[in-house]
Amino acid sequence: MGIVIRDAYVVLPLDGKDQAGIHTLYVEDDAIAGIDQKPEGFSEDTVIDGKDRLVIPGLVNAHTHTYMSMMRNLADDLSFTDWLFNTVNPIEDRLSGEDAYWGSLLGQIEMIRSGTTTFNDQQMHIHQTTKAVMESGMRAVICRGLVGDGYDRSDRRLQEALEEMKDGERSSRLSFFIGPHAPYTCSLDYLRMCADVAEELGLGIHIHLAESRVELENMKKESGCSPIEYAQKAGVFRVRTIAAHCVQVSDSDIRILKENKVSVVTNPASNMKLGNGFAPVPELLSAGVNVCLGTDGAASNNAQNMIREMGLLALIHKGSHQSSQCVSAAETFRMATLNGAEALGLPTGSIEIGKKADLSILRLNTASMMPNNNPISALCYSADGSEVDTVIIDGKIVMRGRELLTIDEERVYYEIRSMLRRLGLL
């Protein structure tokens, strides 16, 4: 199967910088097979006219909880403790696997519609999430959120997670991490066990670290160390680690993150909405830490729109640091694409021959994108996601002309409304 995208503005990584120019792309099977030069033996089934179109690598949402999309706008303007322990957790406890499936599809609709092709998901129900991913055509890294005490390999949640992961062997679009929730919900021994299991299975770790001041203060009081030091002590960083938030980190924590090659996911909307503050993104970047971008779940954002998130990321640090040169559009674009893909160990995140064909095509002939003076700036400062016209994941078109080809949207909305009525939430 071959797709040609002819004469579009394409963002390519040239000389270490992302640059937009007019190019023709050739997609063969699941990969980018040619740029401006037709590969030998290439046969085209689909031609996309690139006039007034911008092609970018599909955005990588490096931290979310897609099932939470069904909780959108149910838990707002609350303290972090009230939000998590008194509102979100009690709803979560009542959700079935089927509910998580529809919630995940709702999140995936919103992501595809705003140009995201990959997401890193911490879940309660892996089995139903992999089913949703198989159907939607998205690329996903999934982990079961784990909480517990003690070094106990027979732990129910861990065993369920390992069992459910077997489902994922069916698609190259699916991969798995081990997902200890956070140091404040996992004992040191439990974290140590998660790290051992991840190491043995050759999997990465997806964890929340240093999200709030309360977490930092409690950890210091109870264990005498910061959440970053705690995770290091448990041996978590022996394996590939992607750490969400890292808002409350000291210079010494940043050094630990850098030395241990931990990737940090910043979630600006979630951190602001829950009153947790701003991650020190400029400081992390200048220390050489791989920083990527995520939305977090829709219960704390309340959107799954990476273009909106890029806009926030590119602006908030300029405001908080009173510096117009802080966190540029170019840096933001990297955090939303290649940095996320590298953190997850995926061959995506940039448009290069041989990489997987995960592409988002935006309209340039809209009021928000006109005139086309600087497409990367436009993505960060002008776009809202509605410009995304066509999305290709793993070489397959999943949305064309804003019509979703893999998910029955109306059915998903119907099921979400029914679920909320059943739970007494609507």
- The CA distance from 352 to 133, in Å, is 25
- The CA distance from 13 to 290, in Å, is 17
Q: Would you say 27 or 161 has its CB closer to Ni ion?
A: 161
Tokens of 359: 């592409």
Binding flags for Ni ion, 245-284, as an x/- string (CB under 5 A): ----------------------------------------
Applying CB under 5 A, which part among 16-24, 40-48, 126-134, 291-299 lies near Ni ion?
A: 291-299
To Ni ion, the closest distance from the beta carbon of 145 in angstroms equals 9
Does 358 contact Ni ion by CB under 5 A? no
Q: Would you say 243 or 307 has its CB closer to Ni ion?
A: 243
- The CA distance from 100 to 164, in Å, is 14
Q: Would you say 226 or 270 has its CB closer to Ni ion?
A: 270
Applying CB under 5 A, which part among 50-58, 288-296, 326-334, 339-347 lies near Ni ion?
A: 288-296
**Is the peptide bond prior to 302 cis by the omega test (within 30 degrees of 0)?**
yes
- The CA distance from 12 to 279, in Å, is 29
Does 296 contact Ni ion by CB under 5 A? yes
Q: Would you say 99 or 296 has its CB closer to Ni ion?
A: 296
Q: Would you say 204 or 375 has its CB closer to Ni ion?
A: 204
To Ni ion, the closest distance from the beta carbon of 300 in angstroms equals 7
To Ni ion, the closest distance from the beta carbon of 296 in angstroms equals 5
33 and 26 in contact (C-beta within 8 Å)? yes
Applying CB under 5 A, which part among 144-152, 292-300, 304-312, 314-322 lies near Ni ion?
A: 292-300
Applying CB under 5 A, which part among 68-76, 113-121, 138-146, 295-303 lies near Ni ion?
A: 295-303
- The CA distance from 170 to 193, in Å, is 27
How many residues interact with Ni ion (rule CB under 5 A)? 1
Give the dihedral sign, CA 221/222/225/230: negative
Distances in whole angstroms, Cα of residue 336 to Cα of each of 16, 323, 426: 16, 21, 34
Q: Would you say 54 or 247 has its CB closer to Ni ion?
A: 247
Q: Would you say 279 or 407 has its CB closer to Ni ion?
A: 279
Q: What is the 3-state secondary structure (H, E, C) of 199-256?
A: HHHCCEEEEEECCCHHHHHHHHHHHCCCHHHHHHHCCHHHCCEEEEECCCCCHHHHHH
Does 92 contact Ni ion by CB under 5 A? no
- The CA distance from 246 to 261, in Å, is 14
To Ni ion, the closest distance from the beta carbon of 230 in angstroms equals 18
Q: Which residue is nearest to Ni ion (CB)?
A: 296
39 and 365 in contact (C-beta within 8 Å)? no
To Ni ion, the closest distance from the beta carbon of 335 in angstroms equals 17
360 and 55 in contact (C-beta within 8 Å)? yes
Binding site for Ni ion (CB under 5 A): 296
